[in-house]
Amino acid sequence: MIALLTRDMRLAVRAGGGFGLGLAFFLIVVVMVPFGVGPETALLSRIAPGVLWIGALLACLLSLDRIFALDWEDGSLDLLATAPLPMEAIAVVKALAHWLTSALPLVLAAPALGVLLNLPPAGYLWLILSLAVGTPALSVIGTFGAALTVGLKRGGLLLSLLVLPLYVPTLIFGAEVARRGAEGLAVATPLAMLAGISAGAVALLPFASAAVLRINLR
Amino acid sequence: MDLTVRNLAVARGGIPVLAGVQFTVSPGRALVLRGPNGSGKTTLLRTVAGLQPPFEGSVTGAEDRIAYAAHADGIKSMLSVTENLSFWARVFGTGEIAPALAAFDLDALRDRLAGNLSAGQKRRLGLARLMVTGRPVWVLDEPTVSLDAASVALFAEAVRAHLAQGGSALMATHIDLGLTEAEPFDVTPFRARPQLSHADEAFL
């Protein structure tokens, strides 16, 4: 499993691996929002948590179709399926590699982008925390979507249509944690819901991804 | 332990292509599948490798003992030859890649990116992967495609060494590798009859 994780991370940071694409996309989206809504700092600080969450979510979506598609194209997925690793472990490792290379940089970059949107000082801790707790769910749900669409030509768009509705609960509670944190309100309830969604997705979805992959490999 | 296939029927896209296939591959032996294009050799090999379920019948002695090599080599072009091989060695829990590099004459290419290899060199790398898996049963689908005569000889030598160590091989190939341990197995007689409904028979 560690071998697969290190290989995927190494591939992601080599040329053409797509590392940093999501981060650059996140940066550009967030930088463009003030141009769109105008330079009113009061309005910007109100919408900052939501904009940062939507930006992070879309940036996460960008790299999803690479999770299995590349391995499917060059035949590695067939070979991995005959390797001693169970398919569930492959799904977990792929989701983890996606989280480490795509989502974690977003979590770390979010505070810097918060400054651009005039996020209130109280909000930074909760923004990072909500992203750190919520993005694992995005990666695992995305891996499930990638498993569903593996082998389809131009499956990326279908993948987005399948995955975005499943991202809604994570977005609602994640943005709610960041918003309430920024306004200095209690965050315990949405944070618990967000953590619950992540924990449930991480525990259950790898089994679904593995089942779908087995069917798609036939 | 023998690889045994009993009364196996395999289907591609829900349509049975082969039925009633029976064979046994003992340690030290190789079975070479023959048959025209589209006769179901690849489907049979994928079923034996466990990538798709049998339509009917059973495959025994294959679970976790198979190293599968298909048309695609599963090579990452942005990794070097050594990195590609070590990855599979670690996945299969074996350490040594040096014998595999030597057997397929890849020593001079070890630090080259796999994306810069020629088609034949890529194939050699794909076949070298078999040696680092440490699995006793090799299931090979057209292993000699894009290999030159010298590389085919290297491959035949690797198969011979594998069989001598008590391994076995099941392969689909049109080239005579000159293996004395290999028996041919023609899949043509096992072609599945098209299943016709009664309505269709009235028109025949």
Q: A115-173 pLDDT, tens per residue?
A: 999 999 999 999 999 999 999 999 999 999 999 999 888 888 899 999 999 999 999 99
Burial bucket for residue A196 (CB in 10 Å: 0-12, 13-18, 19+): middle
List the single best residue of B47, B65, B78 to mutate versus A (max A Cβ within 10 A). B78
Closest partner residue to A79 (CB to CB) among B52, B68, B79 is B68
Q: What is the DSSP letter of B80?
A: B
C-alpha span between A184 and A28 (Å, rounded): 28
Q: Where are the alpha helices (DSSP H) in A150-187?
A: 155-182
Residue of A nearest to B49 (CA): A82
Q: Are B161 and B142 in contact (CB under 8 A)?
A: no
Q: How far apart are CA B161 and CA B130, in angstroms?
A: 12
Closest residue, chain B, to A75 (C-alpha): B74
Are residues A11 and B79, on separate chains, in Cβ contact within 8 Å?
Answer: yes
For B99-132, the pLDDT digits (tens) are 899 999 999 998 999 999 999 999 999 999 999 9
Record the pTM: 0.89
Which of B53, B70, B91 is the closest to A83 by Cβ? B91
Distance from CA of A135 to the nearest CA of B (A): 28
Q: Which pLDDT belongs to residue B200?
A: 47
Q: Distances from the Cα of B157 to the Cαs of B25, B102, B125, B145, B153, in angstroms?
A: 19, 12, 15, 16, 6
pLDDT above 90 as % of chain B: 49
Between CA B90 and CA B69 the distance in angstroms is 17
Tell which of A19, A71, A82, A218 to mutate to test the B interface (max B CBs under 10 Å): A82
Strand-pair partners of B170: B31, B139
The ipTM, to two decimals, is 0.86
- What are the beta bridge partners of residue B60? B4
Find the residue in A nearest to B140 (Cα): A79
In whole angstroms, give the CA distance from residue B2 to residue B8: 16
- 3-class secondary-structure state, position B109: helix
The residue of chain A with its CA nearest to that of B135 is A83
Q: Is B79 on the interface with A (CB under 8 A)?
A: yes
